[in-house]
Amino acid sequence: MDFQRGETEAERRPTPSSSQGGVPSRSPSSAALERETARKAHLLYRLLASMTALAILGATSALFEPSNRPGLTLTFYGAVLAVFGSVALIVRSGRVILAAWCCSIFFSVLIAFATLYFGGMQGQIASNFAAATLLIGTLVGARAALGVALASSLWCGFVVYLEVNDKLPPQLGHYSPFNAWTAMTIIVCLTAILLQVSLQSLSRAHAEAQKSAQERDEALQRSIQGQKMELVGNLTSGIAHDLNNLLTIIVGATSVLKRRADPDDRETEGLLEDLEGASSRAALIASQLLSFGRPPTTEVGPVNLSALVRSMGRMLPRLLGSMIVVRVTGEKELWTEASRAGLEQVLLNLAVNARDAMPTGGTLTFALDATDSEVILRASDTGSGMSPDVRRRIFEPFFTTKTTGTGLGLATVRQLMEHFGGSIDVESEPGRGTTFILKFPRTDAGAAHDRLLGIATPDGAISRPRPTRVLLVEDDPLVRRSLIRGLEQERYDVIAVADGEEAFALIQTAKDLDVVVTDINMPRLDGEQLSDRIQSVAPSLPVLLISGNRSPSPSTLRGPRAFLPKPATPQAVREAIEALLAEGPGSTDTA
């Protein structure tokens, strides 16, 4: 049998290296093979140590037997110990299978010699063949063990034949109780060691199988969860599109009615405020459903977090109700890299969560602080707090303690914070309220960036000429009429068309358009495709893209482009248009 070949294939297979700098890259199978080789080497070392001790014991007991010759005894056991040392050196070199074969063959030859020249089958010497068989079975495999067992049986049968027919060669020693005791001690000890190691191997294999099964189950659960979230994302995308279109109509009509309402008519003013608050909450729910389960696509940029939080602090009481007091403390000029829309959603979700935790009223405090590298926002409420079990699961998707909650608010907050390169943590105890700690990367480039784009800052608005003509592209008739009404209320001259093809044909002929406001989701030619076509014929014409269920790709927003999510009030549309025009005058000159 080619022992070296078998050992090379099973244990000395070279480990592949990665293509990057020759760094070893081990596969799971090679790692398992190394662990198994180490286990076998450990077993052999233990067997060699045990057999060395037993050999010393055997030599000692043999010296006490008067019929044994001391010189022969010491020579025999000295040779045994020398072989054990040689096998240990082979194990140390990494050739574990070769060492196992060497040990087993030597042990079998030794037993065969003893049965032939030291009393035949008497004294249980032949029983030591079982140890050699167990050794090969444990380290090499079942087939090899069967081969060793068959060879041992054939040899024992040959010795029986010689002993029965008085044909044994001249005996070097006769049957001795000491020899029988030594043989039995050797077989019992070696068998116990092999069984112990085998049981340990079985336990380790069982633990590894359980771990592998658990990892497989967890991977399956993650896959199922991912498919579920993809399904939720696709389903809510269509729902959010229709809902945000309807909310655009509602908030547009509410804005027009508020302007036309009699300032002294408090009842009408209260109804319109309720309608505006309900629209804001509906928009928040649609935004939560739409954003979760999909990677955030909002581009980040410098944002004055202090100004944004103070602005939201003035708006939130209208949304949360008169029983909730909102306070904002901290520095006035703290900038971070994020998106304004995403930050507004983070603050709204935290505010709604705080309101639900304070059903009888309370105080919500936003405290701003900073280090050299981070902006820290603490959102604290005086509500009921959370238990440790709830606190551990608070950011899980669809986890909620409310009877009517979606379980998406705080999960969406964490998703957005990770997208902004920040983090969120929570501190809470039952009866002591809750504090969410949000950490953002700090930047000082925000004010210069906004001044460069001509966007209004808290210190004052930059005056820009108002466009005289807006091309509105919207396929939904109700939304189109609502946007026309809102834009005309802002004193724009509006041309409205129903799809991108019609809009592009008009752009190629009209010479007095100042800005294009287009929906993204449209048949025939959608808003992104229209924007790309405009870029080819009128690259300086500003384009404002709006949508209720998707954001445009970053490549679409190059040049004089901006995005505004639905529902959009007439004031928000006006501000977005003015910000676009502040970057430079538009023109449809295609010459």
* Residue 426, domain CATH: 3.30.565.10
φ, ψ for residue 564, nearest 5 deg = -135, 120
Torsion of CA 562, 563, 569, 573, to 10 degrees: 20
Give the pLDDT confidence of 474-489 residue by residue, as tens digits: 988 888 888 888 888 8
Question: Quick check: is 73 in a domain?
Answer: yes
Question: Quick check: is 487 in a domain?
Answer: yes
Our measurement of the distance from residue 55's CA atom to the centroid of its chain's CA atoms, rounded to an integer in Å, reads 56
The pLDDT score that the predictor gives to residue 548 is: 78
Q: What are the C-alpha distances in Å from 354 to residues 392, 424, 429, 437, 542?
A: 17, 16, 14, 14, 40
Of 216, 235, 254, which marks where a domain is finished?
Answer: 216
Q: Are residues 398 and 486 in the same domain?
A: no
Residue 309 has a CB neighbour count (10 Å cut-off) of: 21
DSSP 8-state class, residue 243? H
3-state secondary structure (DSSP) of residue 466: coil
Question: Quick check: is 99 in a domain?
Answer: yes
DSSP 8-state class, residue 408? -
Mean pLDDT confidence for 501-528: 87
Of 216, 244, 264, which marks where a domain is finished?
Answer: 216
| Residue with the larger pLDDT of the pair 26 and 96 | 96
- 376 strand-pairing partners: 369, 439
Q: Are residues 569 and 541 in the same domain?
A: yes
Residue 591 has a CB neighbour count (10 Å cut-off) of: 2
Q: Are residues 302 and 440 in the same domain?
A: yes
Residue 179: pLDDT band with limits 50, 70, 90: low
> Does position 155 have pLDDT exceeding 80, yes or no?
yes
Residue 581: pLDDT band with limits 50, 70, 90: confident
Residue 379: pLDDT band with limits 50, 70, 90: very high
φ, ψ for residue 465, nearest 5 deg = -65, 140
Residue 418 has a CB neighbour count (10 Å cut-off) of: 12
> Does position 305 have pLDDT exceeding 80, yes or no?
yes
Residue 403: pLDDT band with limits 50, 70, 90: low
Query: Which residues make Cβ contacts (< 8 Å) with residue 278, sequence separation at least 6?
Result: none
Question: Quick check: is 228 in a domain?
Answer: no
| Residue with the larger pLDDT of the pair 358 and 141 | 358
Residue 328: pLDDT band with limits 50, 70, 90: very high
Residue 4: pLDDT band with limits 50, 70, 90: very low
Closest to 305 (Cα-Cα) out of 104, 467, 464, 458:
458
| Residue with the larger pLDDT of the pair 442 and 586 | 442
Residue 518: pLDDT band with limits 50, 70, 90: very high
Angstrom distance (rounded) from CA 394 to CA 401:
9
Angstrom distance (rounded) from CA 16 to CA 271:
73
Closest to 517 (Cα-Cα) out of 586, 456, 583, 457:
586
| Residue with the larger pLDDT of the pair 288 and 524 | 524
CA atoms within 13 A on the CB side of 284: 26
Domain boundaries, position 152: 27-216
> Does position 466 have pLDDT exceeding 70, yes or no?
no
Rounded to two decimals, the pTM is 0.44
DSSP alpha helix (H) spans, 371-462? 388-393, 409-419, 446-453
Q: Are residues 43 and 180 in the same domain?
A: yes
Q: Are residues 417 and 483 in the same domain?
A: no
Average pLDDT, the chain: 77
Q: Are residues 117 and 202 in the same domain?
A: yes
Angstrom distance (rounded) from CA 126 to CA 112:
8
Q: Are residues 348 and 417 in the same domain?
A: yes
Of 423, 450, 477, which marks where a domain is finished?
Answer: 450
The pLDDT score that the predictor gives to residue 513 is: 87
Would you state the structure tokens that stand for residue 219, as one six-digit string? 């991977």
For residue 485, which amino acid is it? R
Angstrom distance (rounded) from CA 145 to CA 276:
83
> Does position 449 have pLDDT exceeding 80, yes or no?
no
Q: Are residues 505 and 424 in the same domain?
A: no
Question: Quick check: is 461 in a domain?
Answer: no
Q: Are residues 445 and 355 in the same domain?
A: yes
Closest to 255 (Cα-Cα) out of 232, 237, 279, 235:
279
Closest to 400 (Cα-Cα) out of 426, 408, 427:
408
Closest to 535 (Cα-Cα) out of 510, 514, 560:
560
> Does position 461 have pLDDT exceeding 50, yes or no?
no
Residue 473: pLDDT band with limits 50, 70, 90: very high
Q: Are residues 426 and 515 in the same domain?
A: no
The number of domains in the chain is 3
Share of the chain above pLDDT 90, in %: 9
Residue 27: pLDDT band with limits 50, 70, 90: low
User: What CATH number is attached to the domain comprising 494?
Assistant: 3.40.50.2300
Query: Hey, which of 114-123, 208-217, 269-278, 375-384 has the most confident mean pLDDT?
Result: 375-384
Give the pLDDT confidence of 187-217 residue by residue, as tens digits: 777 777 767 776 777 787 788 888 888 888 8
Q: Are residues 374 and 338 in the same domain?
A: yes
Angstrom distance (rounded) from CA 567 to CA 241:
10
Question: Quick check: is 259 in a domain?
Answer: no
φ, ψ for residue 434, nearest 5 deg = -135, 140
> Does position 10 have pLDDT exceeding 50, yes or no?
no
Question: Quick check: is 17 in a domain?
Answer: no
Q: Which residue has the tokens 């997208």?
A: 419
For residue 83, which amino acid is it? V
The pLDDT score that the predictor gives to residue 299 is: 60
Q: Are the C-beta atoms of residues 336 and 293 closer than 8 Å to each other?
A: no
Q: Are residues 192 and 46 in the same domain?
A: yes
Give the pLDDT confidence of 273-299 residue by residue, as tens digits: 778 777 776 776 676 666 555 555 556
The pLDDT score that the predictor gives to residue 463 is: 46
The pLDDT score that the predictor gives to residue 375 is: 92
Residue 472: pLDDT band with limits 50, 70, 90: very high
Angstrom distance (rounded) from CA 552 to CA 528:
7
Q: What is the DSSP string of 333-371?
A: --EEEE-HHHHHHHHHHHHHHHHHH-TT-EEEEEEEEE-
Q: What are the C-alpha distances in Å from 268 to residues 246, 259, 418?
A: 22, 12, 43
The pLDDT score that the predictor gives to residue 6 is: 41
CA atoms within 13 A on the CB side of 151: 16
The pLDDT score that the predictor gives to residue 451 is: 42
Question: Quick check: is 254 in a domain?
Answer: no
**What is the number of H-type helices and E-type strands within the chain?**
17, 12
The pLDDT score that the predictor gives to residue 264 is: 79
| Residue with the larger pLDDT of the pair 228 and 373 | 373
Query: Which residues make Cβ contacts (< 8 Å) with residue 363, sequence separation at least 6?
Result: 324, 325, 326, 327, 381, 382
